[in-house]
Structure 1
């Protein structure tokens, strides 16, 4: 008897910006899934996207894409403050959702998204692609198997110089601008991957741009037996690395957010090194995962769970409340 053919998941893409282009390039490295449609309020951008990625259909409004019966799932790459309304509208139209980070700008809105996903019986996941990267998974395997002994210190930073422009998306408070939402979620998620429990103490400093939006945030979290030092910035290009320092060794992850490799160090020597030799940018791993869960009829991921997404938002709010502004 022939094996049952796997369902091809057809995606609709919201906006035709930089991050959705990455999604479109990387989906080509996945099997039994494709982009069926793109929606953008800028018709010229939609047409360019269509031509570059061989997409069948374009729309100049998002609801038309959500109503497209040929679309199974929607990838949301719009600015942070639009994630909630786009996700709700798409789920009400019966679409599964992979939504860019942060999935919403508040816990209450995420709880509502979770309720809608449950009611509509559709899949909903925050696109924390870093957690699916083979190098990150290898680093977590080393950590869990005790290769570095007891964790003493986690260090992680992520930042790029983004010139100040009050009307730009990154600095616009109406679009939830600021480095904490835009880039800080990466160190937050990295730390949560290795420190699932809440810290005993938190302290930090927030530097603000002329319009009051955070443009550099550094914070430290104290746990029972370890410390996490985290940093994010629009003011400078940071090393963008992750380090797990233990009593018996150190795990080093260059460019942790998009990592292709990691090393296990003892003293000054590399004991083990891992490289993934992937073909895409790295989005392909989360796309494959989302498609698998959709085919299984699941409403959430078992890797980036709804609880994980809630914890990311809780951490952001804690930093905002407790860090000192300068």
Structure 2
């Protein structure tokens, strides 16, 4: 039996990369062995902080490193396609931070490249690996809320306007939709196998024209989804999965530690995950298991699900563009 740990390298040394690195202490099947950044000083400091053996200036040396099995990409959105493609072509498994790309067409290109190279590819949508989210899905599958009638989810935090900051810079894929909106969108799609029959969106825009608040209403016929995301204000950041016989409430659903099952006003079941890390450990453990087993994709975040999300976000952006032009 092969018990060797999957050896990981990280592309980027920003905030998310640090959170990812911190949770390696809570997994038993993976180790972090390398980091690469454009700035060699940042790479070396990152490596020192997390006791990583190798630090690279620039990304190509990491792609080519013989002692690296898998690469986690933690850079701005618009760099994902280029970097993930290079890593796949170098023979590495790839876990790419969300959004995996900035359009459906880019996502199709990346999925095709992974298929050509016969290498593992998954979007690092860490929310879907969290035990509380998996428990909520199990309750729905078991019929504990009856027939699904509505999903509501929102995620928003005030983000000070800075036109050159990653969140607002259009060159880096800025805007609330890609940055935070992908979470409520992904949450809704977990519970609806079919796409919406109709979608209606409204947005507010920052000074440079990037959307800083988006509200969405999706019609599925017998059910609906109400979703929102914002850089303008702190939203409740809660997901509710509502059915004819009960509902599930997930506070801070994007980083969920718990979920509760209600019948009318009474809580009848509750789940806590008891995690020791920040939540990235579930993603690292699961993806490392996949890679060790020779899988080419994740059962929890399949590439076709990532593509579906990208297609719907394209639809939202198209609708918002049309509405904006009419103003």
Where on the TM-score scale, by shorter chain, does this alignment land: which range? over 0.9
Residue in 1 that maps onto 2:299: 302
Residue in 1 that maps onto 2:233: 236
Residue in 2 that maps onto 1:219: 216
The 5 Å alignment of 1:142-153 reads 142-153=139-150
Residue in 2 that maps onto 1:106: 103
Q: 2-side partners of 1:115 and 1:202: how far apart?
A: 28
Contact 2:69 2:92 in 1 (8 A): yes
Residue deviations 1:51-103, cap 9 Å, x none? 11100010110001111101111000000000011001111111100000010
Residue in 2 that maps onto 1:129: 126
Q: Give the Å deviation of 1:246.
A: 1.3
Contact 2:40 2:58 in 1 (8 A): no
Residue in 1 that maps onto 2:159: 162
Residue in 2 that maps onto 1:199: 196
RMSD (CA atoms): 1.1
Q: Give the Å deviation of 1:43.
A: 2.3
Residue in 1 that maps onto 2:86: 89
Q: Give the Å deviation of 1:44.
A: 2.5
Residue deviations 1:224-255, cap 9 Å, x none? 21110000010011111000111111100000
User: Does 2:253 match 1:249?
Assistant: no
Residue in 2 that maps onto 1:43: 40
Residue deviations 1:98-141, cap 9 Å, x none? 00001011222222211221122210000011111111111111
SS in 2 for 1:309: helix
The 5 Å alignment of 1:161-200 reads 161-200=158-197
Q: How many residues align?
A: 323
Residue in 1 that maps onto 2:17: 20
Q: Give the Å deviation of 1:7.
A: 2.6
Residue in 1 that maps onto 2:68: 71
Q: 2-side partners of 1:133 and 1:242: how far apart?
A: 14
Residue in 1 that maps onto 2:275: 278
- Name the TM-score, length of structure 2 as normaliser: 0.96
Q: 1-side partners of 2:222 and 2:4: how far apart?
A: 47
Q: Give the Å deviation of 1:297.
A: 1.5
Residue deviations 1:172-226, cap 9 Å, x none? 0111100000000001100010112111111110111111101000010011211
Q: 1-side partners of 2:220 and 2:171: how far apart?
A: 34
Q: Give the Å deviation of 1:22.
A: 0.7
Residue in 2 that maps onto 1:291: 288
Contact 2:107 2:310 in 1 (8 A): no
Q: 1-side partners of 2:181 and 2:204: how far apart?
A: 13
Q: Give the Å deviation of 1:296.
A: 1.8
Residue in 2 that maps onto 1:10: 7
